[in-house]
Amino acid sequence: GAGVSQSPSNKVTEKGKDVELRCDPISGHTALYWYRQSLGQGLEFLIYFQGNSAPDKSGLPSDRFSAERTGGSVSTLTIQRTQQEDSAVYLCASTLAGGVAGELFFGEGSRLTVL
């Protein structure tokens, strides 16, 4: 597609359930980021993938959070045993190769509500 695609756009789940959020970046973009945006908060960095390098996981808030990127393209963010504080909008962004400050292209986000 032309832009970054995220799915689902909305997800309501019960506390304790696992959820998977998907991000399909712009074709050819080697760098992919996940951010979390909570109500009234800025963007919280979660994880960063760059090509075949080991991902930067320094922003993941707990071991319940994990992400993978298959074939250097689609990425999945998994949250296990969801908690109410996980409720937020999860944004994915992609850009061309790092090293030069290119523009981040964002998806419209996946809004997660944990009941």
Using CB under 8 A, which residues numbered 21 to 40 contact other proteins? 31, 33, 35, 40
Q: Which two tokens stand for residue 44?
A: 């919280």
Of 2 and 14, which CB lies nearer to other proteins in the complex structure?
Answer: 2
Parallel, antiparallel, or unpaired for β 5-7 and 105-106? unpaired
From candidates 23, 24, 26, 50, binder to other proteins by CB under 8 A: 50
Smallest separation, CB 7 to other proteins (Å): 13
The CA distance from 104 to 92, in Å, is 10
Reduced to 3 states (helix: H, G, I; strand: E, B; else coil), residue 85 is: helix
Q: Which among 77, 86, 95 has a CA at the least distance from the CA of 37?
A: 86
From candidates 23, 32, 91, 112, binder to other proteins by CB under 8 A: 91
**Biggest distance spanned by C-alpha atoms of the chain:** 41
Smallest separation, CB 81 to other proteins (Å): 27
- Rule CB under 8 A: which residues touch other proteins? 4, 31, 33, 35, 40-43, 45, 48, 50, 56, 91, 93, 95, 98-104, 106-109
